[in-house]
Structure 1
Amino acid sequence: MSLLEKATFPCTEVTLEKAEAKFYVVSRNKLILMSVLLSGFYLPYWHYRNWKAYRTATGEKVWPLIRAFLNIFFVYSLATKIQRQLNSAGRQYEWHPRLLALVIMVVGIFGNCIVYLPISVKAYLPIALFLMVFSTLCLLRFQAAINHLEGDPEGRQNSRITMANGAWILLGCVVWFFVIYAMLLLSGYVSIR
């Protein structure tokens, strides 16, 4: 027996499982596509998936469905939990979570109150589009922090469009068609004859 054979120790097979993700990972392009084409309906789903992943990973008693539907009131809490996880994992990331959460809250409240403002019908669609683009940009900052925390900065593990995503996108496009048509009809650009 050689010296090398004496120094080798018997090994057993060990399987390493990936740690449970604490938050929902998604790629930048998929997030933009889903946010825009689902005309804002993706946001509650995104919140639900984040709170569900957080509850599963930490065991903390949170109700993901309630937090998804009332996301304006829980976005600040989500931001602080993401930042705490970044700090405890030793992953530095510059994203100003509290300010970003506050901006998302204000945009969300303003978006819900826009129908009560005394503005012309022609102004609703451009304002709504601006708010949607602005909130998507804010959401991208959130997602970049989450992806950084989970060790997948590009969000590759959730970058493909699934059949379910395609069905939701189709439904979202139908909603967009009717919203734009209604706005054009109300503003007098299109008439029913």
Structure 2
Amino acid sequence: METDIYRAPEAELQESGAEIDHEFYVVSKNKFLLLMVGTFGFYEIYWFYRNWKLYQKRHGVSMLPVMRAIFSVFFAYSLFRKLEDSNAEMDRESTWSPGWMATIYVTLTIVASITDRISTSMTEYTVLDVVSIVTLPVIVWILYRAQRVINIVCEDPDGESNAQITPANCFWLVIGLLLWSLIAIGFYEGFVGLPV
């Protein structure tokens, strides 16, 4: 056996752990829920981006994952359908309805966006101010259902390969905590009034 002592050692490199091998973005259920609720739903943009980015890498298709994440209302059905197709390829029985889930997600996202725009133009607090907060749990539930299917399709049902809270996650959770605090103060001031 000959060895060249001047040759650089060879190693297989992977991007961010085992994630590169997955078709979709694996994340543990607890981490997913913490980041979705803790960031007031802003994690959903990153979540859509990572799913589209990994799908693009795995299938070698040309797409813009950032745009698909930002405009998720136009691409949610497509992502859910691709997820269901992958689930069916593995001969697994469907445990959710991707069409209905996408329809509910898109409808609630549009309703929340419209009511947010209307309520910001008003000087008094109304029921419209509560709509975003009420729609958030349903949107989180829909994406949580999708995440459960993703973890099963990627053969990591508990999402153990992405269960740790990273420093970046902590940063976004702090931003989310500040946002939740401002929302709570705003509601308190609007409905109860701050002491003078």
Aligned equivalents of 1:63, 1:91: Cα separation in 2: 29
Q: How far 1:92 moved relative to its partner?
A: 2.6
Q: Which runs of 5+ in 2 are unaligned?
A: 1-11
* Number of residue-to-residue matches in the alignment: 177
Q: Which runs of 5+ in 1 are unaligned?
A: 1-14
Q: How does 1:58-137 map to 2 (within 5 A)?
A: 58-115=59-116, 116=118, 121-124=125-128, 126-137=130-141
Q: Kindly, what percent of the aligned residue pairs are identical?
A: 29
| Root mean square deviation, CA, Å | 2.3
- TM-score normalized with structure 1 length: 0.84
Q: Which amino acid aligns with 2:55?
A: Y
Name the residue aligned to 1:149.
153
Q: Which amino acid aligns with 2:96?
A: W
Name the residue aligned to 2:188.
184
Superimposed CA distance per residue, residues 8-65 of structure 1 (whole angstroms, 9 cap, x where no aligned partner): xxxxxxx9x9782110011111111101110121111100000001001111111100
- TM-score normalized with structure 2 length: 0.82
Q: How far 1:173 moved relative to its partner?
A: 0.5
Aligned equivalents of 2:130, 2:160: Cα separation in 1: 33
Aligned equivalents of 1:174, 1:131: Cα separation in 2: 20
CA contact (8 A) 1:86 1:149 kept: yes
CA contact (8 A) 2:88 2:94 kept: no
Name the residue aligned to 1:166.
170
* Greater Cα radius of gyration, structure 1 or 2: 1
CA contact (8 A) 1:93 1:148 kept: no
CA contact (8 A) 1:52 1:64 kept: yes
SS of corresponding position for 2:155: coil
